[in-house]
Amino acid sequence: MTGKAEIDTRNIPAHVAVIMDGNGRWAKQRGGLRVFGHQSAITAVRETVEEAAELGVRFLTLYAFSTENWNRPALEVMALMQLLVHTIRQETATLLKNSIKLQSIGDISTLPASCQRELAEAKELTKHGTRMTLVLALSYSGRWDLTQAAKCLANDVAAGRLQPTDVNEASLSGYLATAGIPDPELLIRTSGEQRISNFLLWQLAYTELYITDLLWPDFRRQHFQEAILAYQRRERRFGKTSEQLAVS
């Protein structure tokens, strides 16, 4: 087990993204329903958010509900939506206390009206938070993000607000749901799965991947620290050689 004292506070990733996976398997191992795993994951979320803020992470994005998750059994989806409302309502005071701003990305219009109301209220109440921004990816997928960005960009080109020659990586990024947010420098995925599951497809181009076999309900602040330490031990080359980095 690594210690927090080993972390270099001068090399904290500005943006960390997390795929919170394994709730269902965690519950099954204990003879419970999948929703039991989702309920038990709240502590993992709380500790991860608190530790990220304490370490100086500026943006923390949690993959809370993907567009593909709508294909799950109706009872599980309904329970997830109810849990989402309850959790947002319960945790807003803590976000305010810690000056954490809440944002969301995804097709929010597809969420139940109660979820939309709770989310909008929490975002309004926390909008002046300056310590960290917590981004919830809800009804989100990377392909949805790229599709809606392409549509908006095409509309602006058709309307003459943007010239085709002006379309580049920077301009396209401005149409994504994450516009104004730096690309993640670190992606954490629990449960040992070796894929990114349609999450932030454009934004993860040069992100460091950290995969742990831990199931999400068991994830705690010390595990977040371990992910940060693993990130700090890597050499980020962005296509260059180690020798080029040494002289730059």
Is there a contact between 209 and 194 (Cβ–Cβ < 8 Å)? Answer: no
* Structure-block tokens of residue 226: 């371990």
Task: Indicate the DSSP class of residue 234.
Answer: S
How many CB atoms lie under 10 A from the CB of residue 247?
5
Residue 2 burial (10 A CB sphere; 0-12, 13-18, 19+): middle
Active site residues: 21, 69
How many CB atoms lie under 10 A from the CB of residue 104?
22
In whole angstroms, what is the distance from residue 177 CA to residue 181 CA? 9
